[in-house]
Each structure stands twice: as C-alpha cells, then as structure tokens.
C-alpha cells in the first residue's frame, strides 16, 4: 500500500499473480466503468461489451501462471481488452478484418465557459471530430479522456511511438483545418471537453 493507505493497481495485480483473486476483483471494480466506456465506442451493445469485460477477467484467471507484472496495469487492461473485443466482434462477424470503428461524442464542461459558448464549441468540435478517421478519434480519446501517454497509446493501438506521435499530430492538424482554428485553440478545446 502507498502512503495514503490506498492499494494501487500494481499492488492489486501483484496480489492476484500470487493467488489472491481479490486483487483481480478490485481491479475489475476499479476499471470496469472505463473499460465499458471504451468498449461501447466499438460496439453499442451493452450486454456484448459487459460479457467481453467478464471474458477478459476470466482469461486472466485461466492464464495467471503465464502473466507478469506490467509497467502500467491500466494500459495493459485497455490493450488486452481491445484485442479481445476486436477478436470477439470479428468472430461474430460484427466487424470485418479491415474495420476498426471507434465513435465518441464530445461534450463541453459548462463550468469552463458560458452555456451558449459551450454549445457552439461542442457542435463545431463534434462536426470536426466526425470527419476524422476512427483511428484518429481513438487516439484523441485515449490521450484526452483516458490521459494515456503517447507510449501507452502506441501500445494500445499497436503502433510505434513515432507513428503514434504522427497520428496524433495529423489528428490535431486535421481538426485545426476542419475547425478553422490554430492548434493551440484545438488543444484547449479538447482539454476543456470531456467525453461521454
């Protein structure tokens, strides 16, 4: 446990690896909502996404003897969940081999600015986001909503760090052109927004 007395994800995972299933149960409770929100952007079928999360954690139990302690538990969970979810979607023919749908909607926090300005910003940014590729939207989601580092995003998207930086730069540049604003304004707008 850390100084605040709260058990950290690394400690929960380490306990699970040593045979304590409560460590995995705590991780399930800690990350379920985030994994669900991420999965729902690939497939808007709540039961399917919930089943996929449960399948992931069952897989961890069944393969515990092969698992190690990751550098970032959250990153490992997201990467593992994405791979399992895509495999399940393809197995059920809900997704072709070349598809990678990823959808999300922006909403601006009303405390950041007046409601009228917030609505205008939300509408303009949402229209701009809809013109990005699914991969670009996913990179922006992981960076600005889940606060993953570029290194972690590269792991989740199965890209090199250099390709991840390029993808993010191209995404922001595309938003800048579509939104007709400077890169600084786009970054501010993304940081002032939250995703639901």
Specify the CATH number for the domain of residue 71.
Answer: 1.10.1740.10
Q: What is the CATH number of the domain that holds 118?
A: 1.10.10.10
DSSP state of 195: E
Residue 4 lies in a domain: no
Res. 193 pLDDT band, cuts 50 70 90: low
Task: Tell me the C-alpha distance between 66 and 60, whole Å.
Answer: 9
Task: Tell me the C-alpha distance between 172 and 71, whole Å.
Answer: 28
> Last residue of a domain, which of 43, 64, 91?
91
Residue 52: CB partners within 8 Å, gap ≥ 6? 39, 81, 84, 85, 88
- Judge if 24 and 70 occupy the same domain: yes
Does residue 120 or residue 19 have the better pLDDT?
A: 19
Residue 162 lies in a domain: yes
Note every long-range contact of 56-64, with CB atoms under 8 Å and residues 24 or more positions apart, other chains counting: 56/80, 56/81, 56/84, 57/24, 57/27, 57/28, 59/84, 60/16, 60/24, 61/21, 61/24, 64/16, 64/17, 64/19
User: Of 73-77, 131-135, 180-184, where does the model show the most confidence?
Assistant: 73-77
User: What are the residue ranges of helices labelled H in 8-133?
Assistant: 9-17, 21-40, 46-62, 73-91, 115-130
pLDDT of residue 96: 60
- Judge if 187 and 116 occupy the same domain: yes
- Judge if 16 and 86 occupy the same domain: yes
pTM: 0.71
Domain count, the chain: 2
- Judge if 112 and 189 occupy the same domain: yes
Domain span at residue 61? 9-91
Q: What is the pLDDT of residues 82-111, one digit of tens each?
A: 999 988 988 887 666 566 666 655 544 444
**Position 40 pLDDT exceeds 70:** yes
- Judge if 80 and 110 occupy the same domain: no
Residue 3 lies in a domain: no
DSSP state of 65: G
- Judge if 83 and 161 occupy the same domain: no
Does residue 121 or residue 194 have the better pLDDT?
A: 121
Sign of CA dihedral 52, 57, 61, 65: positive
Helix 183-192 and helix 134-144, axial crossing angle in degrees, nearest 10: 60
């Amino acid at each position: 446990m850390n100084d605040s007395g709260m058990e950290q994800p690394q400690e929960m995972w380490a306990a699970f690896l040593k045979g304590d299933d409560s460590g995995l149960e705590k991780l399930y409770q800690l990350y379920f909502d985030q994994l669900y929100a991420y999965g729902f952007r690939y497939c808007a079928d709540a039961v399917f996404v919930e089943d996929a999360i449960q399948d992931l954690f069952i897989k961890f139990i069944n393969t515990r003897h092969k698992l190690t302690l990751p550098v970032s538990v959250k990153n490992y969970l997201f990467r593992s969940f994405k791979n399992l979810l895509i495999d399940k979607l393809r197995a059920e023919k809900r997704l072709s081999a070349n598809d990678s749908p990823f959808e999300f909607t922006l909403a601006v926090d009303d405390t950041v600015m007046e409601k009228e300005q917030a609505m205008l910003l939300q509408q303009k940014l949402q229209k701009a986001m809809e013109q990005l590729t699914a991969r670009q939207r996913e990179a922006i989601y992981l960076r600005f909503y889940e606060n993953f580092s570029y290194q972690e995003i590269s792991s989740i998207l199965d890209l090199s760090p250099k390709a991840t930086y390029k993808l993010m730069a191209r995404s922001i540049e595309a938003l800048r052109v579509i939104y007709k604003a400077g890169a600084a304004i786009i970054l501010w707008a993304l940081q002032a927004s939250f995703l639901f």
